[in-house]
Amino acid sequence: MKNKKIVSLILVASMMFGLAACASDDSSSRSDDDNERVTTEAETEDDEDETTSETTTEAEEPAESTLREPEGPVESEFFTDFENMSFTYNGNTYTLGVSTLQDLIDDGVELSGLDAASDIVDSQSTYYAGFSIELIPYRSATMTVANYTDEELPASDCVITSLSVGSIRELPEGAIEFNFPDLFTPEDLVNSAGEPDNINEFELSDGTPFAIYTYEQSSEIYYGSRRYEYTFEDGVIDEISMSYIP
């Protein structure tokens, strides 16, 4: 009898030990599966973060601007043509001292500052309102007008007396044209037009060299002079300005 009880106790103990072992294995298996899922999710999140970071970095990289370069030496007899200080835009040619602001408006040229076109300009005076033509985004041709008559005139009826175009090399060919080439070096200019009346040389804080070559002709009626100014950046034309006085 006692032997039967002992055998029964041993069987019960064995069954309990077996159940405990199975429960431990199941718990360990579930723990391993959970750890694997957590690790996989963490790796996926890291991959997504890296992808987002790479995409953001690529999106923030600025587009490189292409600068036009002179194609060899150029020559022109019109770099200092004080009798015909003109420019061409959209196939129409305008001459300083002759063409009016209204001529551009009639040709459909989109001008900024048109709210001042109706302003009255005193006789024998220059009007410095900011009229400009956008050539490409953030790059414009700016101009002033003047009233050389003995009567008051609206700004729109005044003649254009100056034009300035900067960042020439950033502009596409033909965006605005002159009666001389728009890409050249100081050597090209001097070889064609002779030595300038004045040269102003300087450097930016980053060491980039600039030089302004100025050609002048005394006006016939008013005190002052007609002027061409050519600004060179690092040996290539960067800005062209011309101003007219009768």
Nearest to 160 by CA among 147, 150, 177: 147
Q: Quick one: how far is CA 131 from the chain centroid? A: 20
Cα torsion angle, 134, 136, 142, 147, sign: negative
Q: What is the pLDDT of residue 63?
A: 53
Residue 106's pLDDT band (boundaries 50, 70, 90)?
very high
Nearest to 208 by CA among 187, 236, 181, 183: 236
Q: What is the pLDDT of residue 12?
A: 43
Q: What is the pLDDT of residue 57?
A: 47
Residue 182's pLDDT band (boundaries 50, 70, 90)?
very high
Is the pTM of the predicted complex or chain greater than 0.95?
no
Q: What is the pLDDT of residue 65?
A: 62
Mean pLDDT, the chain, whole residue set? 82
Q: What is the pLDDT of residue 114?
A: 87
Residue 50 has pLDDT above 60, yes or no: no
User: pLDDT higher for 21 or 184?
Assistant: 184
pLDDT per residue as tens digits for the range 120-167: 999 998 887 779 999 999 999 999 999 999 999 999 999 999 999 999
Residue 43 has pLDDT above 60, yes or no: no
Q: Is 7 helix (H, G, I), strand (E, B) or coil?
A: helix
Residue 1 has pLDDT above 60, yes or no: no
Q: Is 189 helix (H, G, I), strand (E, B) or coil?
A: helix
Q: What is the pLDDT of residue 20?
A: 46
Question: What are all long-range contacts of 200-209, with beta carbons under 8 Å and residues at least 24 apart?
Answer: 208/233, 208/234, 209/233, 209/234, 209/235
Q: Two tokens at 27? A: 């718990």
- What is residue 201's DSSP assignment? E
Q: Give the integer Cα–Cα distance in Å for 50 and 35.
A: 23
Residue 232 has pLDDT above 50, yes or no: yes
66-80: average pLDDT: 92
User: pLDDT higher for 86 or 20?
Assistant: 86
Q: What is the pLDDT of residue 48?
A: 52
